[in-house]
Amino acid sequence: MTFKTDFLWGGATAANQLEGAYDIDGKGLSVADAMPGGKERLAILASPEFDWTIDIEHFTYPNHDGIDHYHHFKEDIALFAEMGFKAYRFSVAWSRIFPMGDETTPNEKGLLFYDQLIDECLKYGIEPVVTISHYEMPLNLAKTYGGWKNRELIEFYVRFAKVLLERYQDKVKYWMTFNEINSATFFSGLSQGLVPSNGGDDKTNVFKAWHNQFVASAQAVKFGHDLNKSLQIGCMSIYSTTYSFDANPVNQLATQESIQEFNYFCNDVQVRGAYPAFTNRLHRKHGVNADALEISEEDLKIIKEGTVDYIGFSYYMSTVESKTGEGVQASGNMVLGGVKNPFLKESEWGWAVDPDGLCYALNDLYGRYQVPLFIVENGLGAIDKVQEDGTIQDDYRIDYLKKHIQSMNEAVEDGVDLMGYTPWGCIDLVSASTGEMSKRYGFIYVDLDDEGKGTKKRSKKKSFDWYKEVIASNATNL
């Protein structure tokens, strides 16, 4: 294997999916706290009937409790350290720091929690990798301001980012501004706070929200760089390797357009510092009123000056484009869509398992942008069964990760500059797409079910010791 000696092996989580403690120590409500659980979660959020004013007491699980990492973080990080983590990617709950999102003074109790969390990581030599905003906008910003389509959110976000960057500049080197910012291509509720009832079905609002996020991200990046030259601040997007169903030029062109829209658009703005040439075509395609986006010359200057240092991205599956309507509709993923790939197996949730697609992704991104890459999410959601002797034999997860690491190595040998790898859900947590505990990703099993019942006891799966050896050997032993 050819990974660099300081390669950042570790794992990734998000505050709203594992912390719990949703209403203590001054934390305000987030959009995640107002989301239902279950397989129909995204469909419910995308329906015209849903709005952010709904009575959240109906949704007491799963996000409200998570796995109670808030009270178990020392135990959890000790387990990460036992695996040999070099890095731990987590997010800061925005509403834990600014409960309503629009305050001018942060909640000190919320900051004290992250003081302890970061210090616990550093105690074990684990690099904190912090996502500033990860699907957990303060609910008030979605309800009162209408989410990211409102330009006022730029000021609120930048204030939040500045508080974190100033407080942790000497402890946290690696940052990302927004999680999976391009997810709004298909659904804007998670990342932009937009649902149909507040304009989420209007693409003009989605592109306006993106622009405001781009400006906010650039301001945060520039502030961080001016504050401390050693800080590495990245963007973060989903990458979906996309194949054409066949050689029909109609499908080939549709595939190219899909790649540009989903894999390149947001990255182009944040890495290159300018909107790509195909932006006008996207506006025409989606009926966007470009004049309503309120893009100023000053905004474009800020975006140009606030480019990121690296690309963080998630990779779970590939997709197949069929403009001609041929092929069988892919199952299990409302977000990415496409048709089934007959050459690939699927997970229990219908996600195509494609390790080779990761090598493709790495070569594609590095060839286009020539900045370091960081795989900050990758993993297999599966149902894990506890055996009579208490063990969890998750060989399927080991097989999935092993093949993806081999694919990463091929890309590194091709010349790709890869910083690190933090598989998703290194400890079992609540699924973002389905709101389930039964869709498990972790190396560490947490005794909780989809109703929130269980002991919360942590136990090691077979993959725990396997990944420990991967890290110790720098992947020479898979």
Catalytic residues: 377
Tokens of 184: 């709004």
What CA–CA distance (Å, rounded) separates 111 from 118? Answer: 11
Q: How far apart are CA 402 and CA 351, in angstroms?
A: 17
How far is residue 199 CA from its own chain's centroid?
A: 23
What is the C-alpha to C-alpha distance for residues 141 and 259, in angstroms, rounded to an integer?
31
**CA 9 to the chain's CA centroid:** 17
Within the chain, what is the greatest distance between any pair of CA atoms? 65
Closest CA to 328 of 341, 317, 343: 341
Cβ-contact 311, 271 below 8 angstroms:
yes
**Which amino acid belongs to residue 275?**
Y
**Is 419:429 a contact under the CB 8 Å cutoff?**
no
SS3 324: coil
DSSP code for 374: E
The sign of the CA dihedral 15, 208, 140, 163 is positive
Distance CA 68, CA 49 (A): 31
Q: Where are the beta strands (DSSP E) in 223-303?
A: 232-238, 241-244
